Chain A
């Protein structure tokens, strides 16, 4: 199938905002997910958005969805060193397993 695309690296200074972008492929995807992977660990669900929403906010996290362009973004406000991780975008395609992007490695510089 077609790929879910993400940039591979992002570097930000502590206290700044981080924006991680993703383009997905299936216009009928009902849910889109952001997972976080800390070093040496498995993936953990960070947040998700239902396709009939444009935005979802959860504390320091803001997810924006542009269905027309099939573009998803994750904004982390006041980025901390503990936010350093790999962030995966994933889309649902009906009743089949999630399709993941390659992941964006976020480095936070103190």
Chain B
């Protein structure tokens, strides 16, 4: 299995509080991604990174920010959590964004905003 960990694995927080999720990889892959998974919506891209300090928005980026100060870590921050951000969050990595390169997924973080 690709070396991807996510922390925390579960979190319950209150509306209006800031939350940071961490993705850590040991594969030295250039690309890292944050997705959210919701029933009826499948997997939707939030943000992705193509290098240290290089990030871009995905399909559902509103309310989220990201940072990547080291190759191995990609942080997802909810500045002020809302109930609509209750979801399962997955991190993924790939060597390249080119279509021939596989994406490897982390185990997920289940976030509940009350």
Q: Interface of A with B (CB < 8 Å)?
A: 1, 8, 29-31, 33, 40-45, 48, 88, 92-98, 100-103
Contact = CB atoms under 8 A, between A and B. Distances in A.
B97 A95 contact: yes
Interface string B27-43: 00001010000001111
Given A45-B103, A102-B42, A103-B42, 10 more contacts: A30-B99, A31-B99, A40-B108, A42-B105, A43-B92, A45-B102, A88-B43, A97-B97, A100-B44, A103-B43
Contacts of A41: 107-108
Given A29-B99, A95-B97, A102-B40, A43 B48 contact: no
Contact of B100 (A31, A40, A93, A101): A31
B22 to A, nearest CB: 15
Interface of B: 4, 31, 33, 40-45, 48, 58-59, 90, 92, 97-100, 102-108
* Those 6 A-B pairs whose CB atoms lie nearest each other, nearest first: A92-B99, A102-B42, A42-B105, A100-B43, A31-B99, A43-B105
Contacts, number: 55
A95 B50 CA distance: 11
Contacts of A48: 102
